[in-house]
């Protein structure tokens, strides 16, 4: 069965999608498990190439339309990220490396889409000119409260807080705060505004969301959210995609993410230093 789905503003009006399109999309997004979850670089790069090639064959056969160019952007972003270790590093060199590599992973697909493809599929809608509803404000409170109650049990109970450098002095704590906030911001720019937006051109919302969550959660695994972390990160990635679809606001999903990351930051500091002692349920 073939469906025609409306594309984002500035992109082709229709993108023809066939069920077979899921095969290359699963390959490209599933490669993240190899690249970030298992750190099997060559296997992951091979799967990325095969996925884009299969998408090109689907386009050539008329089963899909411009699937290969869009999946190629996702593949390029993942390939760039995979060139470095994602283990937290608060040194000058480590923070510079994260800035450059993750920055390129967003900038390169954006530049190709905008200046080579001449499309506006990848956008960063900071201002939607819509007032946040009462439900949206309550959701922000709920997310913060949920993190405050759950995250200490996860980070301290599982011991994964050691995946982040031990911090004690003001300089180290400030660096951790900047790093957590910067990576959280980047998450929304890449996984939601880039990967999810490109996938939404070809698939239903739930399919695109599951695919982007695969990449999102694999990245977070290598970043340090291991042990039973996926029980938290999978729902978080899916909810972020769904929230962006509903609100169409990068600002809102970013505020949600940064509030959650604020709790993450405080829990990591508490686990290493014993302060601030503001969490009611700690192992």
pLDDT digits (tens, 9 = 90+) for 96-105: 999 999 999 9
Give the relative orientation of helices 250-273 and 134-158 as an angle to the nearest 10 degrees.
30
User: What is residue 18's predicted lDDT score, i.e. its pLDDT?
Assistant: 75
User: What is residue 281's predicted lDDT score, i.e. its pLDDT?
Assistant: 81
For 250-267, what is the mean pLDDT?
97
pLDDT digits (tens, 9 = 90+) for 110-141: 999 999 999 999 999 998 888 999 999 999 99
For 262-269, what is the mean pLDDT?
98
Name which of 219, 220, 238 is nearest 229 in CA terms.
Answer: 220
User: What is residue 127's predicted lDDT score, i.e. its pLDDT?
Assistant: 84
Instruction: Determine the Cα–Cα distance for residues 191 and 240; give it in Å rounded to an integer.
Output: 10
pLDDT for residue 282 is more than 80:
yes
Reported as a pLDDT band with limits 50, 70 and 90, residue 74 is very high
For 219-234, what is the mean pLDDT?
97
For 218-239, what is the mean pLDDT?
97
> Per 3-state DSSP, what percentage of the chain is helix, strand, and coil (rounded to 5)?
70, 5, 25
pLDDT for residue 212 is more than 80:
yes
User: Across the chain, how many H-helices and E-strands are there?
Assistant: 10, 2
Q: What's the gap between Cα 66 and its chain centre? A: 23
For 24-47, what is the mean pLDDT?
98
User: What is residue 16's predicted lDDT score, i.e. its pLDDT?
Assistant: 58
User: What is residue 5's predicted lDDT score, i.e. its pLDDT?
Assistant: 46
pLDDT for residue 66 is more than 50:
yes
Taking residue 174's Cβ as centre, other Cβ atoms within 10 Å add up to 12
Peptide bond into 162 cis (omega under 30): no
pLDDT digits (tens, 9 = 90+) for 163-186: 999 998 999 999 999 999 999 999
Percent of the chain with pLDDT over 90: 90
For 142-146, what is the mean pLDDT?
96
pLDDT for residue 9 is more than 70:
no
Mean of the per-residue pLDDT values for the chain? 93
Q: What's the gap between Cα 78 and its chain centre? A: 11
Tokens linked to 213: 């969550």
User: What is residue 132's predicted lDDT score, i.e. its pLDDT?
Assistant: 94
Name which of 65, 74, 88 is nearest 27 in CA terms.
Answer: 74
User: What is residue 274's predicted lDDT score, i.e. its pLDDT?
Assistant: 94
Taking residue 149's Cβ as centre, other Cβ atoms within 10 Å add up to 13
Percent of the chain with pLDDT over 70: 94
The residue extents of the domains of the chain are 2-118+130-273
Instruction: Determine the Cα–Cα distance for residues 114 and 89; give it in Å rounded to an integer.
Output: 32
Name which of 272, 267, 276, 185 is nearest 232 in CA terms.
Answer: 267
pLDDT for residue 247 is more than 80:
yes
Name which of 20, 21, 22, 47 is nearest 32 in CA terms.
Answer: 47
Question: Quick one: DSSP state of residue 88?
Answer: -
Tokens linked to 146: 């949920």
Q: Count Cβ neighbours within 10 Å for each residue of 103-142 and write b for 16 or more, e otherwise.
A: ebbbeebbebbeeebebebbbeeeeeeeeeeeebeebeee
């Amino acid at each position: 069965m073939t469906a025609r789905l409306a594309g984002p503003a500035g992109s082709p009006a229709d993108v023809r999608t066939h069920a077979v399109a899921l095969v290359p999309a699963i390959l490209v997004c599933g490669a993240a498990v190899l690249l970030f979850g298992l750190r099997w670089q060559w296997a992951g790069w091979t799967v990325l190439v095969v996925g884009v090639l299969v998408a090109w064959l689907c386009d050539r056969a008329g089963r899909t339309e411009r699937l290969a160019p869009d999946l190629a952007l996702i593949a390029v972003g993942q390939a760039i990220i995979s060139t470095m270790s994602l283990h937290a590093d608060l040194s000058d060199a480590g923070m510079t490396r994260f800035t450059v590599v993750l920055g390129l992973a967003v900038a390169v697909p954006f530049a190709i889409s905008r200046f080579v493809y001449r499309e506006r599929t990848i956008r960063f809608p900071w201002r939607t000119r819509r007032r946040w509803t009462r439900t949206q404000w309550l959701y922000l409170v709920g997310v913060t409260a949920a993190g405050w109650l759950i995250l200490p049990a996860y980070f301290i109970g599982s011991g994964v807080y050691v995946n982040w450098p031990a911090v004690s002095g003001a300089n180290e704590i400030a660096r951790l705060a900047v790093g957590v906030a910067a990576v959280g911001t980047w998450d929304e720019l890449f996984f939601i505004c880039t990967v999810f937006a490109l996938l939404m051109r070809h698939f239903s919302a739930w399919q695109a969301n599951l695919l982007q969550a695969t990449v999102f959660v694999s990245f977070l695994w290598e970043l340090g959210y291991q042990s039973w972390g996926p029980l938290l990160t999978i729902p978080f990635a899916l909810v972020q995609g769904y929230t962006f679809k509903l609100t169409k606001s990068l600002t809102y999903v970013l505020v949600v993410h940064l509030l959650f990351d604020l709790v993450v930051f405080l829990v990591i500091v508490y686990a290493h230093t014993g302060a601030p002692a503001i969490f009611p349920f700690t192992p």
